[in-house]
Amino acid sequence: MKFYHQHSARVRDLCLPQIRKELEEAGEKILTYKIMLLTILLMAFLNPAKAESQTRASKYCMDNVKLYRSYSEYSEGKFIDSICLSGKKHKFSVYYNKLTLKHGQQKQKYPHGSLWGYERGKDVFRYFNKGTTFGTYGYHKIIVSSGLIIYSKYERGGYRYASRTYYFYSKDINAPLERLSVKNLEKDFSNPWFIKEVKALKSLTESDNDGNLLISAIYNKYYQ
């Protein structure tokens, strides 16, 4: 019995250093893992833009696109799809009769007429189809968003005509678009003083030194 206790004590003395060493190494690994985890969480807290997925638009993305199915959803900020274009594999295009979002190998296509519009950064583009032979259709950029709503639409040139930008207006942000012309303004607005000042402009897209359209100031003078 005495021999057994002596042998057990000897085995214990031999094993304890090894066990202690293994426990210390395991503790160091756990500590290292905890430090790495805390570092990742701290980076995510300090820089959430890097921590979140780049496949969806967010307030941290510098170049994002958000799609809206209706005006009510746009006014409530409820987009149906979005993409952050900061990622190299993320693409956005509006071509002929469709709008396309590309997330890597995945594509989502939206035919013309299926959306109210889209938002890219701070710019809003509204879809409208005049429904006539020479009427406008497609996405129009809102350049004045209060009072008399003003839009621009760039048309790429072709074989027989040059590229140019066309301008439109609507009475509110969800009303039908009309070509920005004196004739159309006379049809929609009966105030003779408003029409007189509009006719005095060198161009309906004439702006002041700050880049603000003068027609907006004239409209606000009589209708706001």
Strands 106-111 and 117-120 turn out to be unpaired
- Tell me the three state secondary structure of residue 207: strand
- Tell me the three state secondary structure of residue 204: coil
CB distance 107 to 118 below 8 Å:
no
Task: Categorize the per-residue pLDDT at 133 as very low, low, confident or very high, splitting at 50, 70 and 90.
Answer: very low
Bridge partners of residue 92, in order along the sequence: 101
Following CA atoms 23, 25, 29, 31 in sequence, which dihedral angle do they give, to the nearest 10 degrees?
70
Q: What is the pLDDT of residues 121-131, one digit of tens each?
A: 999 999 998 76
At residue 205, what are phi and psi to the nearest 5 degrees? -105, 20
pLDDT for 185 equals: 97
CA–CA separation, 136 and 153 (whole Å): 9
Average pLDDT of the residues in 216-222: 96
Is the pTM value of this prediction over 0.75? no
Q: What is the pLDDT of residues 138-186, one digit of tens each?
A: 899 999 999 999 999 987 766 677 788 999 999 999 999 999 999 999 9
Task: Categorize the per-residue pLDDT at 19 as very low, low, confident or very high, splitting at 50, 70 and 90.
Answer: low
Cα atoms in the Cβ-side hemisphere of radius 13 Å centred on 46 = 6
Q: What is the pLDDT of residues 67-121, one digit of tens each?
A: 999 999 999 999 999 999 887 788 999 886 689 999 888 899 999 889 999 999 9
